[in-house]
Structure 1
């Protein structure tokens, strides 16, 4: 996650298209990524970081940099042209700590290029370098070099220059992803006597594709101490691993990474054997503390497989195909503390499986297929404190010992047996627990501090367990259950009665439409409560704990909440409720605009749902002026006075006009009557349009449109249909300009129906047709355009397009129903909208479609 965040920030800095500056200096950092530079720019002497990747710099010489005493990081990697580095190119950077040339194709590198460079880390990964970089003395005199990254190059043999003997600060060397088939004692002789924290020879096909004469090759790590040696991804079989172990016999290796190997027969195969007690036997004198054998094909853990690894503390066997554990497989691991066997094929565990592990503290067995475990399997592991059995197929927990931490989520537990259990942390989410009696049982577990029961099925209660005092429980997670079914039956309202020290409670997604009176009364220490994603419409005084500080009420159906409920809180989330914006809500709106309580999320997510005229309007923009009784009374008096005066005046004027111009009025009346009733061609659209509607949709949606709309509405598809529809595939004139076709279709149709889908938003012609339809709306001053949103398109995707954004802000649109049984009704409504004759707008008022949303 951290690496992804760093990459995202890097892209934001490097990309001008995202609106972020890519070429700037902020006092200490000079960032010139992707600035089309052909040479190193001049920067102030106080610069600490200079980033020059993604440019076209061809040459770096001793004169490329002025004297930059403060520079600590120089990034010259990823040049978009071959790079040449001359003699003593970095001599003017006396305090450089990191030199990054990675991902640059180095065309020329002078043997003295790195001289006078006191840096501590040199990154030369993916630079197209050959064996010469190691055997020709490029790194001599670099006394302060601590890390050397030469991964992803074209190094084919490993023969270090004698100057490596002088690199007393060197601690890490990465040679992974090269083409080194063989590493022998003579090649690494300059490193003898040194202690390295990290040495990687991973992904080189090392020893796997050549015949090795170990008598001549001997021990490549003789007289060396390695804290971590990574030889993963080299395609080692059990025989190769055994030969390597024998060769390095006696070399001090604290951590050995052998991941991504091919040891083991896998499931259903026997051509490659599983490792046996000879495979790792010679590592017994290496003082090995950690061994990583993950991502392989080991099917069976054989007898005394690790018998000589007396000092091993961490063993990783994850992502293999382990299905069998032989008796005494772990014998000899007297100091093992952590065992990871996750993501394997274990189906049953027996009492003898983990014998010989007296100090095992953590065992990870998640993501297997374990359905049966014998009672004594874990009980003799006296030091065990964490057991992870998530995502298996367990139906009982009779075998569980009393240990501090239990992970049992993602299994098939329907009920819990009445066993003696002691734990600090229990994770039981994603099971099938239904009866709240199981919750009462768990709340009685001594020393329990955190209990996670999300995504179960709690919905009924026999209440055979009386509430008990639990002075230790601090966090309880009960989200995504069905507590409403139990509580509406009147049972288990006292489930939280004994939890006087509970601080955090999650009850989200429980279908709650009410809170039982006093259900939180005894939670005197509760500080955080989540009630989100429920169906609460109202909260009453006393419903919430007195000392609550943080409350999540988002995604409920609150209509007009009492602000007095929230005044004691420090933070609250009230987003996405169904507030009724009338005078009854004015007190809450005033509190919302003035409160010091932290409101989570955006204020735009706290909006009106009713009345329809204010639907979607943020509460902080809604005016409650005129809601006081005095203002309403004064306004009513004034309105009555105006109404009476205007009515009397109009009546008097009308009498005078009729009496004075009664002949002219009669003539006008007859003209209007004749215009309205006797000449329907005038002012009516029905006879002036070639089509009832123009269907605008993406060509990729044609099959769906044909099945869903055309066969049910278009008269040419069925005699029972009454609409004459126009669409591109049938009615556009072949060979004619597409714009002209679109214009003719828009202006020749009474209505334009745009079927907005994901394909529509990516189709420029569809968006062009949408714009033409909007133009006609403005020209005719009527609601010609009907917009139908198809599929689960969120609002923000519609708002990305300017023409659609303008339409959505001013007018409402239709949404294709999700339920098939509603389609016929929807098509009938759509037909009415198409055939409906819309009057012209007056006084710039908008004619809006009634929103049709099928939930």
Structure 2
């Protein structure tokens, strides 16, 4: 193929598009020695490899485009004159080697823009861009990256614009991934990256918010559209705090529900703020204060219901050139009166994008789809308080309080009963009825009757609690006399004990031995009164295990329900006072 007959002086673009080529003809550009071309395009062919050495004759090529091929390998020798290289929609699994030697000599010293969109690149290394000394714009959209490693862009000392977008499997960003002090524009959109999670379900770190942009101080434009921004205001602020020179910040459709206070004030040069398509309903009045450089603010497509005098500072409304709060379902109630009145009395409608067509009521039902411009509440409409509304509020609040009290009574019966018991004992003590030293004539403060199945709870909980306050407690085996029969030991030591503590449970009711002990202490109750016994319901007894003697005892003697958690301290306080309580106290209700 020869171009000798062509007037190459007027030729600035050469297209070899859709030729079905698999390789370049060897003498294709032999007639272009020292020529400059604006564009050479080899799009829509079937190249697997591309031999750049065949293009060495040119003095300069502004743009070389090899799009929509099947390119796997590029020989960059001969591309020394290329300024813009487009390799999008191919099958390249790594960045081509642009180094002429180990010393870092570049094969493409003039290259300022590289586009590798829609390839099969799975991993980037710090050496991937080693010899691209003059690269200013890099596009890596639609590749197969899963991790952005540390310092992969640090060798690109002149890089100004970076786009890494449409990469749904990207899940990890190492702390120094964006270590590029020259970077001015970062497009990181439609990746679905979870900035709302520092770790995944396996505990692996996904990113470090405080180090994400710490080395991008020159950043002027950041676009994070269609990712998941941090829900925690502290993490949100940590992420964006370092980019203090940013002039354009796009956080569109990033699932933001609340705006952190004090963040945007750290961006004194911020001119454009895009918060479109989020879940924002309201914000603190300080969020937009002192934003002296802000000229464009987009809040359309959120969940904003009311705009009032504290939503935006008046100084901001005067300095903005564009304010878009359309596509929000506004409440057409008296709370909206300030905004609709302000729109009529000021020039704000001139900066409101899409006003009035896309500003309509979403509530109440009878005003749905009414345009805000047509909603005209009067002072009379909004000054009187409706008596019907007052009645409704009183009824709703009363029902709510009654429900809360009922739920508390049902769920905290044992705590309430124990609290009443403790209150009564304290009241009697203040009146002088209770004498806590009346157990001095007994060797033990208490004798414990329990089933062997409940031994663990008795020894680890009951004895521990009572003996910690110097009460002397008698239990089976530990304190019995060696050589004496069990029945004699029980009879003897019950008589030496000031009180008898009975620990009841389903296991207790099944034990014939426990039933015998219970019959024995019934006699003690008849002699000294119901205060001689301290009944503890360690676990609720099923109705199928309830005996007549136990039912009779429970009906006539106070018993305490063991309570874990919130009421546990109260339970042990009541037990202590019950053990120390004299026999002849004023009558009490059965708990």
Structure 1 length normalisation: TM-score? Answer: 0.38
C-alpha contact (below 8 Å) 1:351/1:374 kept by paired residues: no
Alignment of 1:395-544 (within 5 A): 395-396=146-147, 400-402=152-154, 423-431=159-167, 441=176, 445-456=180-191, 457=193, 458-461=195-198, 463=209, 465=211, 472-487=218-233, 491-544=235-288
The answer for the alignment partner of 1:610 in structure 2 is 363
- Compute the displacement of 1:519 (Å): 3.3
- Compute the displacement of 1:303 (Å): 8.1
The answer for the alignment partner of 1:295 in structure 2 is 44
Deviations 1:567-600 (A, max 9, x none): 3222321212222222222112111222322111
- Compute the displacement of 1:553 (Å): 1.7
C-alpha contact (below 8 Å) 2:147/2:172 kept by paired residues: no
Distance 1:546 1:339, change over 3 A: same
Deviations 1:737-780 (A, max 9, x none): xxxxxxxxxxxxxxxxxxxxxxxxxxxxxxxxxxxxxxxxxxxx
Rounded Cα–Cα distance in structure 1 between residues aligned with 2:345 and 2:33? 71
Is 1:323 the counterpart of 2:72 in the alignment?
A: yes
The answer for the alignment partner of 1:740 in structure 2 is none
C-alpha contact (below 8 Å) 1:529/1:551 kept by paired residues: yes
Distance 1:532 1:352, change over 3 A: closer
C-alpha contact (below 8 Å) 2:148/2:173 kept by paired residues: no
Is 1:283 the counterpart of 2:24 in the alignment?
A: no
- Compute the displacement of 1:339 (Å): 2.7
Match of 1:306 among 37, 43, 55: 55
C-alpha contact (below 8 Å) 1:479/1:506 kept by paired residues: yes
C-alpha contact (below 8 Å) 1:524/1:545 kept by paired residues: no
C-alpha contact (below 8 Å) 1:437/1:463 kept by paired residues: no
Alignment of 1:97-246 (within 5 A): 220-221=5-6, 224-228=7-11
547-556 or 280-289, larger mean C-alpha shift: 280-289
Distance 1:293 1:557, change over 3 A: closer
2:129 aligned counterpart, secondary structure: coil
C-alpha contact (below 8 Å) 1:496/1:523 kept by paired residues: no
Distance 1:520 1:437, change over 3 A: farther
Rounded Cα–Cα distance in structure 2 between residues aligned with 1:400 and 1:319? 26
Rounded Cα–Cα distance in structure 1 between residues aligned with 2:171 and 2:123? 23
- Compute the displacement of 1:321 (Å): 2.6
| Structure with greater contact order relative to length (CA < 8 Å, sep ≥ 6) | 2
1:451 aligned counterpart, secondary structure: strand
Rounded Cα–Cα distance in structure 1 between residues aligned with 2:113 and 2:255? 37
The answer for the alignment partner of 1:565 in structure 2 is 311
Distance 1:453 1:372, change over 3 A: closer
Distance 1:373 1:491, change over 3 A: closer
Match of 2:353 among 576, 600, 607: 600
The answer for the alignment partner of 2:119 in structure 1 is 368
- Compute the displacement of 1:296 (Å): 1.9
More helix by share: 2
Distance 1:227 1:600, change over 3 A: same
Give the number of the structure whose alpha-carbon radius of gyration is greater.
2
Rounded Cα–Cα distance in structure 1 between residues aligned with 2:178 and 2:129? 23
1:291 aligned counterpart, secondary structure: strand
Structure 2 segments unaligned to the other structure (5+ residues): 101-105, 199-207, 388-591
1:599 aligned counterpart, secondary structure: coil
Is 1:586 the counterpart of 2:337 in the alignment?
A: yes
The answer for the alignment partner of 1:261 in structure 2 is 19
Distance 1:434 1:225, change over 3 A: closer
